[in-house]
Amino acid sequence: MRSTRARMLLENLESRALLTTSADFALPEPQVVSDKVGTVDVYVQLFSNDASAPTAETVTLTTSGLTAVPGVDYTPVHQTITLTPNNSSTVAIPILAGPASLGTRTLQLTISPSPGLPQGASQLIVITHGSDTTSPYVVKSQALTQGGNVVAFSLQFSKPMAIGPVTNLANYASAAPSSLKEAVGGAINLDASAQYTKNIPLKSAIYDAATDTVYLVPMNKVKPNVRLRYPFQVVSPTPTIAPSFSNLTDTSGNPIASDDPSNLFSIDGRFAATPQVAKASPSVLSYLFGTPTHATPKAQPKPAHKAK
């Protein structure tokens, strides 16, 4: 008579989940980067579903060129990493700039074998030479004042911007706090913080390529307590509402895609920022309005007549 005990033990083993510990890339998808990026950070993580697994695993990350050439497209990396379960470690891969004639080249990263991945793990970095794929961002936003009133808003970007979008007034909006009582009478909106705001019309957008700064001049002087809205990434707030503005882009066509995370999206899909209040410098006033004071010059006193 056949024993059923061995069969029962076999069934119990087959029904158990396979316990593994493996070192892998936290983001396995290929990364496409410009050769101007400097370094690319990759994240290596130890994944484990075995509570009794060792507290650490040591692996080695190495670079190898597929079409990329060490010393030309990248600096080789051979780094030993000690990982703990469900925590990641960052490895920086140096990328070297080169002429556009180098085209697009591919670099492979490899993690040495681990118990759960005996074949190891790999990830690709695609390097584009002679093109810039990095996104611009706002370095600083200010409400520039003269005599206690805002005469211009400024947005300074991290890199040169395309003249068309950055000087298009339709891309910007400004608003001041308002009350529900004022909302009865006109152009009042709810901003991202659910506060009533009153639109402040803008007269012009002037871009200074020397400082990568756009100056937004209001129709009238306003008090500094104003929020700006400008495209961050053009997305419709709802599927039925299309934005009436375009992306701000740099001169390579890269859309603005990063900013101060403390700021908020407004309900129209634009990015809402509260500019820092600063006194307008004479040089900025001269650049915008043709006079360092933006005021009527004072009459000079007439020289006194000498007695005869």
Residue 300 domain-assigned (yes or no): no
Q: How confident is the model at residue 141 (pLDDT cuts 50, 70, 90)?
A: confident
More reliable by pLDDT, 62 or 300: 62
Q: Are residues 282 and 165 in the same domain?
A: yes
Say which range, 85-89, 164-168, 195-199, has the weakest mean pLDDT: 195-199
Q: Are residues 275 and 168 in the same domain?
A: yes
Residue 183 has pLDDT above 90, yes or no: no
What per-residue confidence (pLDDT) applies to 94?
95
Query: 19, 275, 295: which is closest to 155 by C-alpha?
Result: 275
Q: Are residues 31 and 152 in the same domain?
A: no
What per-residue confidence (pLDDT) applies to 18?
61
For position 102, which CATH number holds?
2.60.40.2030
For position 145, which CATH number holds?
2.60.40.1220
Counted domains in the chain: 2
Vertex 47, ends 46 and 53: CA angle to 5°?
90
Residue 111 domain-assigned (yes or no): yes
More reliable by pLDDT, 196 or 256: 256
**Identity (one letter) of the amino acid at 146?**
Q
Structural domain boundaries, residue 275: 138-289
Q: Quick one: tokens of 129?
A: 């030479």
Phi, psi of 6 (to 5 degrees): -65, -40
Q: Are residues 41 and 78 in the same domain?
A: yes
Q: How confident is the model at residue 207 (pLDDT cuts 50, 70, 90)?
A: very high
Rounded distance between C-alpha atoms, residue 144 and residue 216, angstroms: 10
Say which range, 105-109, 113-117, 237-241, has the weakest mean pLDDT: 237-241
Rounded distance between C-alpha atoms, residue 173 and residue 50, angstroms: 54
Average pLDDT of the residues in 147-166: 88
Rounded distance between C-alpha atoms, residue 133 and residue 65, angstroms: 21
What per-residue confidence (pLDDT) applies to 254?
79
Q: What is the pLDDT of residues 219-278, one digit of tens each?
A: 887 877 766 666 544 333 333 334 445 567 888 777 776 544 444 444 455 566 678 889
Vertex 270, ends 165 and 203: CA angle to 5°?
55
Query: β-strand 121-128 against 31-34: which pairing, if any?
Result: parallel
Output the average pLDDT for the chain. 75
Model pTM score: 0.50
Sign of the C-alpha dihedral computed for residues 265, 271, 272 and 278 taken in this order: positive
What per-residue confidence (pLDDT) applies to 250?
83
The length of the chain, given as a count of residues: 308
What per-residue confidence (pLDDT) applies to 307?
54
Give every CB contact of residue 168 below 8 A, 6+ residues apart in sequence: 205, 245, 246
CB 22 within 8 A of CB 117: yes
Q: Quick one: tokens of 176?
A: 């001041």
